[in-house]
Amino acid sequence: MGFMGNKKVQKLPSIRRMPTYLHKLTQMRKNGLDTVSTTIMARYMNLEPIVVRKDLELTGVTGQPGVGYKIKDLIDAIKSFLNWHNTAEAVLIGAGSLGRALLGYEGFEDYGLNIIAAFDADPSKIGSEIHDREVFDIIRLPELASRLQVNMGILCVPNEYAQGSADMMIEGGINAIWNFTNVSLDVPEHVVVQREVIASGLAVLSVKLNQRIMEE
Amino acid sequence: MGFMGNKKVQKLPSIRRMPTYLHKLTQMRKNGLDTVSTTIMARYMNLEPIVVRKDLELTGVTGQPGVGYKIKDLIDAIKSFLNWHNTAEAVLIGAGSLGRALLGYEGFEDYGLNIIAAFDADPSKIGSEIHDREVFDIIRLPELASRLQVNMGILCVPNEYAQGSADMMIEGGINAIWNFTNVSLDVPEHVVVQREVIASGLAVLSVKLNQRIMEE
DNA sequence: AAAATATAGATAAAAAAATATCGATACTCT
DNA sequence: AGAGTATCGATATTTTTTTATCTATATTTT
């Protein structure tokens, strides 16, 4: 039973906020700004300044007391913290509606992610192009993943095919899986999985709504 | 400046796991099972049993020492904890690729969410139907939201229209916003927002991958 | 130039979440 | 029937995360 192997990543909440900092900082730089303080940043992001300071501390960047941080430094520090300087190539498995949406999302470039091909089992999709990416027969996944030297896979297939598709990815040498299915994958130790559960956010929203209503 | 008003929701990590419990439990019930233990559940979800027990405790459900929990009880308890017994109706704003994907996602029914209409500013989309939901002119959002008595809005517009769209929703009486844009919304105190940042998961995956590589 | 204000960084405190331990209960197998 | 095992629930502990406080530094205002 080869699972449970992933060591725990710490400071998850801070890590999750990094892309938003990055987005805002990039915007600021475009607007000609050079420095920013935690106070300003906090206001933009609806956070407490102390949270921002702690988050940024994580990237190792150092600001100037009385002044703030250099925006350029911050951007670089966050990118290298996330290793988003070096573009990662990924393949996407499952060209359904979510898969299509992800293929169409242009923001990934900014995050150092480049989806180079898609795979599906549906003959009507195989051979077609979706947002400029060719859709290959899923049978060819191990072969192509290995030949293309990809090490990230984005999994958007129906639940029942999740584990099988993951196995094929791993066979093809992929060691990072972004898992949008409703299945906890069983993977060897060297493979890293990030599961995305869309309904989690809805659950949180529901609870927030409940609690608010109950109080008033 | 009316923000920062939302009281903090606690046990967020547990809440985020609820939909996954629910999904797995529903599946188990379909397979004819009646009871489940935290050990089994933990194995399915790649968690420690103690985590599962603590999570379930939150729903108020009570199990039987030596036996486990009744699956039916758990399902009910989780649903009522999330208030997913009573279906919530929502409108979706922004019928781009992400909006379409969400309109096409059938799992929402299980989560007590019913998207009843979509809105967009693009004349070529207005009047069309996407996955059986009509797309209305965004101008009509306040009027229709109020007439349809909806209180949840799913926001999928480009960043620059986010705040404006949110304002229209609120004008139409919506008090829960599921925000898929890259913008922190400024909303009155009685409105609850849940922001979904797709790149957050990618950031976490990147860090996991980094840490693994660095160690070996 | 002096006073007031804003800032990061270091350290400390508080709160929350994750994990462990232990006793009582039920089931399983001999 | 009895021994062994699995389970929950309650309580306690540890770890992690969040938040606060204080000091030195820079900027702005008077």
| Inter-chain touch B203–A178, beta carbons under 8 Å | no
Domains of chain B are 12-82 (1.10.10.10), 88-199 (3.40.50.720)
**Cα B36 from Cα B26, distance rounded (Å):** 12
For residue A62, give the DSSP letter.
Answer: -
Residue B107 pLDDT level (bands cut at 50, 70, 90): confident
Closest alpha carbon to A24 in A10, A12, A11, A40: A40
Tell me whether strands B69-70 and B35-36 are parallel, antiparallel or unpaired: antiparallel
Instruction: Report the residue from A4, A192, A198 with minimal CB separation from B208.
Output: A192
List, in sequence order, every beta strand (DSSP E) within B95-147.
113-120, 129-130, 133-137
Count of residues in chain B = 216
For residue B216, give the DSSP letter.
Answer: -
Q: What is the pLDDT of residues A82-91, one digit of tens each?
A: 999 989 999 9
**Cα B26 from Cα B109, distance rounded (Å):** 13
**Cα B113 from Cα B87, distance rounded (Å):** 6
Query: Mutation test of the interface with chain B: which of A207, A210, A211, A215, choosing the one with the most B Cβ atoms within 10 A?
Result: A207
Residue B38 CB partners (closer than 8 Å, separation 6+):
B49, B50, B52, B53, B56, B68, B69
Query: Would you state the structure tokens that stand for residue A8, as one six-digit string?
Result: 């725990």
Range in A52-56, A82-86, B18-22, B106-110 the model is least confident about: B106-110
Helix axes A198-215, B71-82, angle to 10 degrees: 60
Q: Which residues 153-172 of chain A have a CB within 8 Å of chain B?
A: none
Q: Report helix, strand or coil for A213.
A: helix
B22 touches strand D (CB under 7 A): no
* Residue A211 pLDDT: 85
Distance from CA of B204 to the nearest CA of A (A): 6
Residue A8 CB partners (closer than 8 Å, separation 6+):
none
Compute the average pLDDT of residues B162-188. 96
Vertex B159 angle, CA B158 and B161, to 5°:
75
Compute the average pLDDT of residues A165-176. 97
